[in-house]
Structure 1
Amino acid sequence: MPDMSLNQSSPTARRPLVAWARRRLVRPAWPGLRVVRVELLAGLVTALALIPETISFSVVAGVDPKVGLFASFTISVVIAVTGGRPAMISAAAGSMALVAAPLVREHGLQYLLATTICVGVTMFVLGQLGVARLMRFVPRTVMIGFVNALAILIFTAQMPHVIGESPAVYLLVGAGLALLLTVPRLTRAVPPPLVAVVLLTLTAVMFDLSVPTVGDEGSLPGSLPVPGLPSVPMNWETLRIIAPYVATLTAVGLLETLLTAQIVDRMTDTSHDANREAWGLGAANIVNGFFGGMAGCAMIGQTMVNVSSGGRTRLSTFAAGAFLLLLVVPLRDVVGVIPMSALVAVMILVSVMTFEWRSVAPATLRRMPRSETLVMVATVAVVVPTHNLAYGVLVGVVLSALLFTRRVAHLTEVTSVLDPEGGERIYAVSGPIFFASSNDLVTAFDYAHDPARIVIDLSEAQVLDSAGVAALDDVRQKFSDRGATVRFAGATGGTAAMLSRLSTSAAEPAAPPPSASVEETPGQTDGTSAHK
């Protein structure tokens, strides 16, 4: 009888890629006309803000503006479907442009496209492996420093468009800020940035004002992007050239994206899927590389524009990419006359809204531990001059780890009591025992005056690493050198397992509790720190 199992299998079972897509990708639901209108308008405003920023970042990377514009379109459209953080805008970002610039300068555009594809593949694999979970180790103070540094960078990036320009530029920027602050009090039917851009553009055209426009930033493309393979040799030499850039761009892109996602979570009181965002951004960059775009990631400035304009769903992200393509290809002549002053006003307000003003309020600074303030300031101090968010976050995380280790090391305490009947000195160790507290632990015992029998009670201690075990063995050896015997007791759980594997002496399962008659010997209570 023939086997009919293959014929009876479902279409999904026969098509694993379809099954994977159904599990992983979004199934859009109709949100309602009002939500659609808000999302589309938010996407339109975001697209307008994307154009000058993307052109500027293309110049930073040393490529034609269309490379950045096509990248922003492709990434936004793809990640609207694959991403894990609705309403977040990903495009050709400045941090990625800074990293890519030396590669373009030394080897040309085609190597950048090959790098972009490899960055996408790496992000996709890391997302599938769940590496994004490591973001939970980024402290809140580092995130605050990250946000404040970004706000400062957004603000300072607008200054070249204002300083040294004609009085008309200052008037338009001032009028734009006034509109952005006034329109929300009058109506919420239309995003204030869109009102400001339209009215200021009409004013500049009607009065024939001589002010810088979007068209002055760079030429806009006249045709749609065409997919193709990068024209580079497929050999080990190419891999050697692009590998360092792939690693750096992947790290910077994922770090900036996942930090931005957490910021949007706080603003919208929602949550994101970090792993999905990682592999979704990877998929977007793979497609982006084949369409001739530079590597991209989340852009906090444009994300703030989108969210502040009412964007909350994937539709606003998709609309931003779609409107961007519509504006820079068929409507490039119209977009070219938009005064930069209008977009500068929008970005200045975004920077002011992004900055965590509460973090620098005198009352907050008085209450906040100095170590946390130091971490926040250090993060800002590194990001602002380098314009590299990854460097700032790395410094902040390392500094936080060092300060945390220093603080935890002082939680280890040693107290002692003398058992007059048994003739034993019982030391009780509490707190974590690890590399940072090991040196102080060794000096906390009275080796010269103690009796011949010593009990070290570890029931309240946690031995965390081999350095902690080595410190206990050093204590035992010092007592042994003076003719005393040492017995470790009370170790349980992980502490007992660590001692059994690494210690040169055995640990007993339970410490003998001091009897009621035992009195604490004056001068024998000690600790590695007087404070917790």
Structure 2
Amino acid sequence: MFNLLSKAPSSAKNDILSGLTVALALVPEAVAFAFVAQVDPLVGLYAAFIVGLITSLLGGRPGMISGATGALAVVMTSLVVTHGVEYLFATVVLMGILQILAGVFKLGKFIRMVPHPVMLGFVNGLAIVIFLAQLGQFKVLGDDGQMQWMQGEMMATMLGLVALTMAIIHFLPKLTTAIPSSLAAIVVVTGLVLGLDLEARTVIDFVKDMTGDASATIAGGLPEFHIPQVPLNWETFQIILPYAVILAAIGLIESLLTLTLIDEITDTRGQSNKECMGQGAANLTCGFFGAMGGCAMIGQSMININSGGRSRLSGVTAALMLLAFILFAASYIEMVPLAALVGVMFMVVIGTFEWSSFRIMRKVPKSDAFVIFLVSAVTVATDLAIAVCVGIIVSALVFAWQHAKHIYTESYIDEEGSKVYELHGPLFFGSVKNFIELFDVKNDPKDVIVEFKHSRVADHSAIEAIDNLAEKYTKQGKTLHLRHVSPDCKQLLHKARDLVEINVIEDPKYRVASDKLG
């Protein structure tokens, strides 16, 4: 569990350098998300350190970066405004417990059921969200106390430095891979700004604008153990439970989808249930150390992967470097130009967005193309959890609609004069209407056999349809035989139970999804 090197020791250099790059990019993100949640910047920075460190050690995906995120900060805002930051810490503790339970009960495996069009929409939507989030760095605090777009020379300098950063990241790997191109770009642009004394916004300028405090800093001490100061009663539990459930769900969905994405990029496989427990342990710790909690960060994870970070060492390095910035090097990190970090994130956007999705739109079914667009749009308009849920629901409905038309029968008269219907295709809630219409109850002979060998009875709606069919034949004075229906199906049948022909050797053993069996 604590083996920091997933590959040969020679990867240590890349992991350490990529971790340093990620740590630099974490600072403005953590401060911004703390501002969204309306808590002190250090609450966000401590969360980035604690979540990043623990998930790197205990999580199921080496190389993935976790920290304070905007998806969670948006939900936290109303809780902090209404009840205060202490209730936030208590909520984060409960959130961590719920995520650990999700791992214990192995719920992480269900992320593998997310359809590929939903994954494409998720990636594209997050790329757009990351891009839009960077636009805020092009604004400054105006005389009226409102954020306004940069003007004139300041905007030109910002755009020029961003372009330079992106150029270094793009072209440097063609010359050498000895140092991560993102880190090299940050160092070069920072040196250029300091050496030429350019008028460029820095990390500390951003922190001051976010907090509205001219003396603000990212410097601080070690996180201290802190039991949330809330009443330990039923009323408190009722307040924090809804927030904890939502935060736990959003955190796990974003983390597990990011895990799946990194799996595809690196051609490896993470452990989803282990990641659930790692995220839970991290958030549980956050709640007791005055931090806002967090989850996986796709932007920083992509920076890490693109910079050569593959093992747990890269995530641990990023977390420890961030803590070192807070404790010892705040004054130096505060001088880093925002343009360099924006340029890094813009390259992440370009690398994250699935540009191939435009090409395949005309080649995939229209329903899949619609799901890709829908999930992307909902991700930008609302949040990731809602977008993924909407995408899965739409995909499931499309699947049900398509398979509802796949049920059919092949009928013939056997040697005994009975009419046999050989049923093909799944029988479930979506196909029961078509199922009933397959039978000619009025004109069928006195003896009818329904053969289920090539069909699958999937749910209770299918059981009800079989019962209704049996009742129709009984009212016509005809005998219906049900052949090769599984024992659990027979258990659920009411009117048609006695019509089932038992064949111990050939009858299937599959299970029907039904509340009555639960």
Q: What residue in structure 2 maps to residue 425 of structure 1?
A: 419
Quote the offset at 1:321 in angstroms: 0.5
- Does 2:371 correspond to 1:375? yes
The answer for the alignment partner of 1:481 in structure 2 is 475
Does residue 186 of structure 1 match 2:171? no
Indicate the percent of aligned positions where both proteins have the same amino acid: 38
Distance 1:288 1:412 in 2: 53
- Corresponding residue of 2:390: 395
TM-score by length of structure 2 reads 0.89
Maintained 8 Å contact 1:479/1:485: yes
Amino acid corresponding to residue 147 of structure 1 in structure 2: V
Unaligned runs of 5+ in 1: 1-24, 511-532
Corresponding residue number in structure 2 for 1:460: 454
Q: For residues 330-341 of structure 1, what are the structure 2 equivalents within 5 Å?
A: 330-341=328-339
8 Å CA contact 1:466, 1:502 repeated in 2: no
* Counterpart code for 2:405: H
Partners of 2:349 and 2:278 in 1: CA distance? 27
Deviates more, 1:345-354 or 1:229-238: 229-238
SS of structure 1 residue aligned to 2:500: coil
Alignment partner of 1:172 is 2:170 = no
| Cα gap change, 1:30 to 1:424, in 2 (>3 Å) | closer
Separation in 2 of the partners of 1:30 and 1:406?
Answer: 45
- 1:61 and 2:20 equivalent? no
The 1-side partners of 2:173 and 2:234 are apart by: 57
CA distance in 2, matches of 1:32, 1:408: 48
- Please state whether the residue corresponding to 1:446 is helix, strand or coil: coil
- Whether the 8 Å contact between 1:496 and 1:507 is mirrored in structure 2 is no
Q: 2:48 aligns with which of 67, 72, 85?
A: 72
Residue 31 of structure 1: how far off its partner (Å): 6.1
Please state how far the C-alpha of 1:137 moved relative to its aligned partner.
1.9
SS in structure 1 of the partner of residue 482 of structure 2: strand
- Contact 1:87/1:317 (8 A) holds in 2: yes
Residue of structure 2 equivalent to 1:516 = none
**Which residue of 427, 436, 446 maps to 2:430?**
436
- What do residues 409-459 of structure 1 show as CA deviations (whole Å, max 9, x unaligned)? 11110232245x644322221111121111111122222322222222222
Q: What corresponds to 1:507 in structure 2?
A: 500
Superimposed CA distance per residue, residues 303-360 of structure 1 (whole angstroms, 9 cap, x where no aligned partner): 0001100000000000000111112331111111111111000000001100111122
User: In structure 1, what is the Cα distance between the partners aligned to 2:283 and 2:333?
Assistant: 26
TM-score of the pair, normalised by structure 1: 0.87
Distance change (3 Å), C-alpha of 1:351 and 1:332: same
**Contact 1:434–1:463 (CA<8 Å) still a contact in 2?**
yes
Query: Which one of the candidate residues 214, 217, 220 is aligned to 2:203?
Result: 214
Query: 1 CA distance for matches of 2:237 and 2:306?
Result: 42
Matched, 1:409 2:404: yes
Question: Quick one: structure 1 residues 306 and 28, their matched pair in 2 at CA, closer, same or farther if it must change by over 3 Å?
Answer: closer
Distance in 2 (alpha carbons) for counterparts of 1:78 and 1:160: 30
For the 8 Å contact 1:158–1:347, the answer to whether it is kept is yes
Query: Residue 158 of structure 1 aligns with which residue?
Result: 134
Letter in 1 for 2:443: H
1:497 equivalent to 2:495? Answer no
Secondary structure of residue in 2 paired with 1:85:
coil
Q: Deviations over 1:491-524 (max 9, x none)?
A: 15xx3430344242321146xxxxxxxxxxxxxx
Between the aligned partners of 2:459 and 2:183, the Cα distance in structure 1 is: 58
Supply the distance in 2 between the matched residues of 1:140 and 1:359 (Cα, whole angstroms).
Answer: 11
Q: Which residue of 2 aligns with 1:96?
A: 72
Residue 501 of structure 2: SS of its match in structure 1? Answer: coil
- For residue 137 of structure 1, the aligned residue among 90, 113, 120 is 113
* Aligned counterpart for 1:204 among listed residues 188, 193, 196: 193
Corresponding position: 1:244 with 2:220 = no
Partner of 2:254: 256
Contact between 1:84 and 1:272, CA under 8 Å: does it hold in 2?
yes
Cα 1:306–1:438 shift into 2, 3 Å? same
Cα distance between partner residues in 2 of 1:484 and 1:472: 15
Letter of the 2:404 counterpart: A
Paired residue type of 2:420: I
Deviates more, 1:408-417 or 1:340-349: 408-417
